[in-house]
A and B are shown apart, each in its own frame.
Chain A
Amino acid sequence: MSPLPSPDLLRTVAPPDLAPTVLFRVGLADEYLTVDSPVGPVFVARNGRGVSATGPAFRAGAAEAFEAAFVTRFGRPLRPATRVERGEAEALAAALREGRGRGVRFDLRATTPFGRAVLDMARQIPRGEIRPYGWVAREIGHPAAVRAVGSALGHNPVPLLIPCHRVVRSDGRIGDYAWGSDVKRAALASEGVLPDEVELESRAGLHYLGSDTTHIVCWPTCHHARRIQPRHRVPFTTLDDAAAAGYRPCRDCRP
């Protein structure tokens, strides 16, 4: 009888990349790449479930800070991308410019249902427009939860891709931002919303803008409001003032 081989002679070893790839695909390990954005280079972390985090890449020591914050927050390992699909960086750059996460899958497992509702509402705000925290609270059906909305936006894991920078304080000031208020102002300026101007107008009592030809009143940055000819612009401080003057709220920006 001829010998049978020992099991070792028949044993094969799994390729070293098998385990990391599996963990990436099921969403237990993430990888990040650097993508251009209107405010400078940005880190985008993702796994097989979708994009999980973004972070500013334009500061010294940004990579280390991003990796450390990610591990602390999500409890998963994060490493620079070993595989980038064709066109992925370009698609992410386009999504960062548009800032509504169109065509992007997100992994928001760590976000509460309330937080997701807030982020979904923020995604409705078009590029170049802003809304106050109170508007988001009302739109998601929790008009009293203004502070909770602010907190949920502050915990947005994917700033710029989900445009929490387009939500500002109800008193008209631009307000805080996870990456610093200077970045929020720069992001808005890149979309044509000039923060200094917005704050000045608000302080002067311009909170809403109506058109005396249509008798419709909008948020000042609504794309309809911006098409009103200067001579037809009618500023309002409160919606009650506008209603008293016979103006109805815009159906698009819903002031």
Chain B
Amino acid sequence: MEPTVDAEETLPADPLAARLARDLDGAFEAVVAAHADLVYGLALRSTRDPAAAEDLAQDAFVRAYRALAGYPPRRIRDLHLRAWLSRVTINLARNRARDRLARPVSAQLDEGHLALADTAARPEDAVLRREAAAAWQARLAALPRHYALAVELRHVQGLSYAEMAEALGRPVNTVKVHVHRGVALLRAAYEKEIPS
């Protein structure tokens, strides 16, 4: 299901950010719980490797905590945590990738390595869903990174285009184009595998 498009320029206030501004140490656990899947998902799109993604997600949260510890409360209150945490994660991944020599990473995004969201009611449905999910994971992993990240942010994590623009540090129009191209590439990959 396609999330509704947020056409507004400004993002709504984040109640968790308000809690965080009042009590960083008291509310940070809730922030990690609320956004662990988002940060890990982006780390996975960036690294394409579950172990590296876990390390990257950890480091992103630690970096976020240290940054927050240095922010005045008003700045924390005004944060849009989803967008901000996405940006921290994506920037960290980009810096790591730049630091490292481009190492070829084999696509190992199969169900043995990944904890996929499992929402099926019947066991036989669960098997089918897992297979389908693994296939889509592989297709997503095969996309160029900026398209994979755009699809992850928009289609999986449900960020608005305004949030995505903040997360990626790009204009709204650019992120829209990346989402559309990413989705088109995913469709093309699916059709190539399954002749109609």
Contacts and interface: CB of A to CB of B under 8 A. Distances in A.
Interface of A: 1-2, 4-15, 17-19, 21-23, 25-26, 28, 48
How many of chain B's residues touch chain A, expressed as a range?
Answer: 35 or more
Contact of B32 (A11, A13, A23): A23
B137 A12 contact: yes
Contact of B191 (A2, A17, A48): A2
B36 interface: yes
Contacts, number: 97
Nearest to A7: B156
Given A7-B156, A22-B58, A12 B117 contact: yes
Contact of B36 (A8, A18, A25, A26): A18
The 7 closest A-B pairs by CB, nearest first: A14-B40, A14-B36, A11-B117, A22-B61, A13-B115, A26-B65, A9-B133
B183 to A, nearest CB: 6
28 contacts: A4-B183, A5-B133, A5-B136, A8-B117, A9-B133, A10-B133, A10-B136, A10-B137, A10-B155, A10-B156, A11-B116, A12-B41, A12-B115, A12-B116, A14-B37, A14-B41, A15-B115, A18-B32, A18-B36, A18-B57, A19-B29, A19-B32, A22-B58, A22-B65, A23-B29, A23-B32, A26-B65, A28-B28
B95 interface: no
Interface of B: 1, 25, 28-29, 32-33, 36-37, 39-41, 44, 50, 54, 57-58, 61-62, 65-66, 114-117, 119, 129, 132-133, 136-137, 140, 151-152, 155-156, 158, 183, 186-187, 190-191, 194, 196
